[in-house]
Structure 1
Amino acid sequence: MLRACPHHGFTELTQIDTFYIGLNENDQDSLNAAAGGNLLSKTTKEALNITENKSKVRYSRNKSNVSRMNTNSRESSSKMDERIDKLADQISTLVEIVSKKVVTPATVKAVEESCVTCGGAHAY
């Protein structure tokens, strides 16, 4: 990650510190567990190695999930496409039905206050 982004003159230690502080608690805990304690108590080189290794593990997990999803046969994939097309058609039909049934509300005559005793235009 540090190699992909310009560091704008910040030291690696400052970058690690800023990166760590920006993480949510779960990700901080994960890095701390990988570090065998607080990541920020490690040397800059150790912290960089831990962060690098942790990102490789997460990347490889995500990559394997993608490959598992791509193991579908073409036939299965085309069936899925057919289902999606059918659902899209159903949604379009429902949108048309709802748009035709939208009713504009009737105008309501304002209630005017009137006196119960004399019928005048003032409160009771």
Structure 2
Amino acid sequence: MTKTPHNHLRFFNKVTSTFRHPEVPNTSIKLLLFPFSLDGEARDWLDKEPPRSILTWDDLVSKFINQFFPPSKTTYLRNKITNFFQEPNETFNEAWERFKGLLRQCPHHGFSELHQLDTFYNSLNSNDQDALDSAAGGNFLDKMPQEGLAIIESKSKVRYSRSRASDSRVSTDAPLSNSSPSNNSFDMQQIAASLEDKMTIKMKP
């Protein structure tokens, strides 16, 4: 499985935010539609869940993340973030992109923005630290997190823009499937028809 459960949920929430029904909560709609967003290993996992073992959307999200992003992986990535260090031949831009990549891999890392910037600053070589201090007009770490982030992004602006252009060619919010969202595993007409059927059943006394 190459996509993270967090990316999958972001994509799924974006799609289902367009679905509305006056008599059905949005979380119920999500529960009804979620199986259609899965394929392969993820679909097999959900099919094997015991009947009535998932009663709410929060239950499903929790089980889904724990299944495909176990606590051990969270601990591993949190340690990589905490112990991040700029490589000897790594440029400032490369180090920043790599650090952000680690944060994206573990979006529930729990580190505050201040902690993130402090970790990144202290991981840099002295020349890059001096450059950030100079751009900050003093000690970089005295700045508020949003100011510090703006300084870093400004310093890496050219590289960051190229990275964004490259990232736009590769979707990071695709479903947990080997196929694209337009595939039958997530076909919008199929979902709409099933939603109508399931809601009819759901709303019967």
Higher RCO (C-alpha 8 Å, min separation 6): 2
TM-score for the superposition, normalised by structure 1 = 0.43
Whichever of the two has the greater Rg, that structure is 1
Normalised by the length of structure 2, the TM-score is 0.27
